[in-house]
Amino acid sequence: MHRRLGRPRPSSRLAVVFVSVAVLAIAVSSVACGAKLAGAVTCRQALENGIYDTEMKVYGTVSRLDDLGVFAFLLTSDGRELLVFYGSMVKDNGESLPDVSVANIQNGDRVIVAGELKSAGRYRTQNSFWSYRIDKY
């Protein structure tokens, strides 16, 4: 016996609507994430490019926040880590830079950090990263 084709059942239409909404939400989220990451590099790219003391954006996953004994955390992406300072940043001339808030940041968060990959200096080691701004993405 053949089933007659006709109007879809209400439950099938509802399923199509749910799937369509889910696909749209994923697409919008991907576009928004891509826009936030525009111009940012991975930790590996920052270290391999070796562009020191110049403002850049680096993205990755936060770990060891409040666990290092200094105002810093580890940022990991593309298999490499950066030590990101958010406080106690002092220039060679003794000038202190303002602390950056990490009040809404937790271990495991994905963030974009604007700042500088530092060359070796009086109050810093080479390849430490001084943050100016930290945003979740």
Taking the whole predicted model, whether its pTM rises above 0.95 is answered as no
Task: Say if residue 61 is in the same domain as residue 117.
Answer: yes
Task: Say if residue 57 is in the same domain as residue 124.
Answer: yes
Using CA atoms, how far apart are residues 32 and 34, in angstroms rounded to an integer? 5
**Tens-digit pLDDT profile for the chain (137 aa)?**
555 555 656 556 655 555 555 555 554 454 545 667 889 999 999 999 999 999 999 999 999 998 999 999 999 999 999 999 999 999 999 999 999 999 999 999 999 999 999 999 999 999 999 999 999 99
Q: What CATH number is attached to the domain comprising 76?
A: 2.40.50.140
Task: Say if residue 109 is in the same domain as residue 125.
Answer: yes
- Count of structural domains, the chain: 2
Is position 84 within any domain? Answer: yes
Residue 16: both structure tokens together: 């199509």
Task: Say if residue 123 is in the same domain as residue 77.
Answer: yes
Question: Residue 127 phi/psi, 5° resolution?
Answer: 75, 10
Is position 128 within any domain? Answer: yes
Q: Are 75 and 53 in contact (CB under 8 A)?
A: no
* CA 83 vs CA 12, 21, 130: distances in Å: 52, 40, 9
For 86-106, the DSSP string reads -S--B-TTSPBPPP---TT--
Is position 2 within any domain? Answer: no
Task: Say if residue 119 is in the same domain as residue 78.
Answer: yes
Residue 33, domain extent: 8-38
